[in-house]
Chain A
Amino acid sequence: MTNERTESVVSRREEIISSRVSRLERMMEIRLVEDRIQDLFARGLISGTTHTSQGQEAVAVGLGSSTRPTDVVCCTYRGHGVALALGIRPASVLGEVLGRQIGCMGGLGGSMHLSDPEIGLLPTFAIVGAGVPVAVGAALQFAVKKSDGVAVSVFGDGSTNIGGFHEGLNMAKVWNLPVVFICENNLYGEYSPIASTTAVTDLTKRALSYDMTAEVVDGQDVDATHATIQNAVARARDGGGPTFIEAKTYRYVGHSRSDQATYRPDGELDAWLARDPIELFATSLVASGELSLADVDAMRVRQRELIDVAEEAALASPPGSIAQMFAHVLAP
C-alpha cells in the first residue's frame, strides 16, 4: 500500500467532513457507482450477487461526514455506499465487485466484503447482524485504551430480529461503551415487509428496552442524518455511552440482484422517489445559494466522467492472483 493511496482515502473522507457540497458530490458518486454495478451485472461482467442501496445515500454520507477516519465502522453486505462515503475510491469498489486486484480486498472479497483499515472500515459483514457485537468489541477496545475513538455499527431493519443485535445493544449499555448503532430502516428485510416479520415497526422501542438513548431521523435528509449521528458520536466520545439511531429510508431496488421487488405496493416507490435524498439536498444547496442549478448539472456530468474512468481502471486490472489466494489464510 503506497502512501499516495493512504492519503487518498483519508482525504476523500475529510472532503465530506468539511464540505456540504462534497456531501452532495459523494451521494451522486454512490448512486452512480451502484447504478454502474447493476449495469456491469447486466452486461455479464460480474458473477454472483450484489446488494445495492440506491435511495439510502444520505445515511451513508451522514455517517461518513460525522465520524473520523480513526473511528471504526462495522457495516453490512449492502455496503458500497458506506465504503464510498468513508473514503474508499470508486475504482476500488468497482474492482472488488469485479474480482480484480485493484479492488479494496484484492478481489478476494467481492461486493459483500469491502474494507480499508485506513478509514476504519472493518471488512463488511455478509451475515445479518454479525457486525453489531463486533462494533461493541471495537468500542471496548477504545474504552480499555482510554482513547476517544467511537465505533459505529450500521445495519438494516432485518438485523434487529437476530440475537446478536440484542446481545450487542445490551452489552454496549451495560458497559457504557462509545458505540453508535445506526439502523437503516428501509422497510424490507430481504423480500419481506417489516410489519410481517417484526413485532414493532418503530425500532427505537427496541433500544429503549435497553434503556439506551434512541433517536429517529429522516434518512433522506443528509443534513439531518449528519447532525443526528454527529450528536450521538459526540456523546459517545464524551463518555455518554451508546446511542441507537433509526434512519427512516428506502431502497429503490430489490434485496439483491435477483430480486425484482414485485412485492411492493403500487405507488410506494414513487412516493419515495419524490423525496430522493440527492434531489432534496441539491435543491437545498441551490436554495441556500451555495450552488447554482448549473453547478449541480456540472457536478453530475463530472461525477459520471469519474465513474467512467474508475470503471475503465477496474476492468483493466488483472484478476486476483493464485498466490493471493494462499497468502493470508493465517497471520504469520
Chain B
Amino acid sequence: MPRVVMKGAAIKRALVRIATEIKKRNKSIEDLVLIGIKRRGQTLAQRLAKILADGKKSIPVGAIDITLYRDDLQLIAETPIVRGSEINFDINNKVVILVDDVLFTGRTVRAALTEILDFGRPKSIQLAVLVDRGHRELPIAADYIGKRIKTEKTDLVDIFVFEEDGKEGVFVSKCPNQTKRDEI
C-alpha cells in the first residue's frame, strides 16, 4: 500500500511557503523567471508563478525536457521520448527558479542546469522542489524545499497533480521489482 506523504492541501501550503521564501530572498520579483522540469515540475512552476505574481505582473514560465541531456542515454534500452523544451523568453541576467517535483539523485537537476546554460547566462539559478527524498549522487542541494521525506533508495515516490493526473498527492511505495528502475 502506498504511504500518503502529502495531500492536496499540504502541497498548496508548501507552494505558498516556497513563494514567500523566494520573495524574501530575492527582494523583487522583477528579474524572476520560472522553469519547470517536465512534466510535473512544469505544472508546479505554473502554480508557483501564479502565487508569486499575486494577480499583478505575470512571471514568465518555461519548461524543459532533459531527455537529450541525460547522462545515461547509453545505458537505456530504448530511445527515450523527447518532449521538447519551451523557454520563449530571454534568460540572460535573470534569476531562474528551477522547479521540480522530487529531488532524488540530483542527476536530473544536473542535466537541467546544463541545458539552461545553453539558453543563456542567467544571473543565478535557484532550485525549488516539492519533495526532497535524499539519496543524492551528485553535490546538489535545493534552495527551497516543500517537504523532506525519509525513503529507502529503492522506494517509488509518486507525485500526482490535478492538471496532469486528475488527482493530487504525494505517495511513497515499495518498488515491486528493484532491478527494473531506470529513473534518474
Q: Do A and B come from one complex?
A: no
A interface residue numbers (CB < 8 A to B): none
Residues in chain B within 8 A of chain A (CB atoms):
none
